[in-house]
Amino acid sequence: MEYLEINDLISADGLRMVLLRGFPSPWGQAAKAMMEYKGLDYKVGALKAASENPEVVAWAGTNSAPVVAWNDEAPLNRWDDILLLLERLAPDASLVPEDPAARGELFGLAYLICGELGFGWNRRLDGAHMGAQAGRDPGPFGMKYGYNKRDGSLAAGRAIAFMRHLEGILKSQADEGSEYILGDSVTAVDFYWAAFSNLVVIQSPEECPLDPAIRPMFESVRQEVAEAVDPILIEHRDRIMQRYFRVPMEL
């Protein structure tokens, strides 16, 4: 994958995105895979980890990825804003159902994965909490996710509760003959879980070619969280990754 210089990306036309380079950041990887599923052409620039990234901040108002922009429209950073933009650009390859009840269910589940104090957020908080318990300052990483002792102490249990909820959904869906989280076809929530599952069971080095110095960070999962991962959650991840994501993942 070719990364453009940020200033070249900003000045370009069309669909552009900023990804966290070198890391399987699930918010970005899910957005990228959905763009590819929809057949959208896009350009990519790199956010550098543990850096100030002043050009990105000046353009998008955030030192975070993903950032997605379309032509002269304002850059977007929130997962739901990005999803709705992609739906607008490629409505014929929709990943959001039209039925109001199904649409509400999708956005509810997607929020539980991607949103504030959702699964991904809680996995970040749990990592910060484990560091704090070991005497390390949560620092800017903890601040980004609003780390505090209470939410940090609840994060593992919240992540486990969500996985058990999703496990039940997937088993009910399997009983109905569906391989997907909602209905009988792929939706955005399948992409989100596939990407975010790496926060509890990282893909193999062949599938997710992380720098060996970084991989232990993703392999360090609290025991009770790791034990709560039902096989159906990873079976779903692997199936969706093989069908709809680039494997090996582009970092």
Q: Do domains 3-93 and 100-244 have the same CATH topology?
A: no
Tally the residues of the chain: 251
φ and ψ of 67, to 5 deg: -120, 135
Q: C-alpha angle with apex 80: 209 to 99, nearest 5 degrees?
A: 115
Between 142 and 175, where is the model more confident?
A: 175
Task: Say what the pLDDT of residue 88 is.
Answer: 98
Boundaries of every domain in the chain: 3-93, 100-244
Of 222, 28, 21, whose CA–CA distance to 127 is shortest?
222
**Based on the number of CB atoms within 10 Å of its own CB, is 211 exposed (0-12), middle (13-18) or buried (19 or more)?**
exposed
- The answer on pLDDT for 142 being more than 90 is no
Q: Which long-range contacts (CB under 8 A, 24 or more apart) does 5-8 make?
A: 5/45, 6/45, 6/46, 6/53, 6/55, 6/56, 6/59, 7/55, 8/45
Task: Say what the pLDDT of residue 143 is.
Answer: 85
Question: Topology of domain 100-244, per CATH?
Answer: Glutathione S-transferase Yfyf (Class Pi); Chain A, domain 2 (1.20.1050)
Tens of pLDDT, residues 93-134 = 999 999 999 999 999 999 999 999 999 999 999 999 998 988
Task: Say what the pLDDT of residue 140 is.
Answer: 85
Best CATH choice for the domain 3-93 from the list 3.10.580.10, 3.30.70.20, 3.40.50.300, 3.40.30.10: 3.40.30.10
Mean residue pLDDT of the chain comes to 97
Task: Kindly give the residue spans of alpha helices, DSSP state H, lying in the chain.
Answer: 6-11, 26-37, 54-60, 79-89, 100-114, 119-133, 139-144, 149-175, 188-196, 215-219, 223-227, 231-244
Tens of pLDDT, residues 65-74 = 999 999 999 9
Tens of pLDDT, residues 7-44 = 999 999 999 999 999 999 999 999 999 999 999 999 99
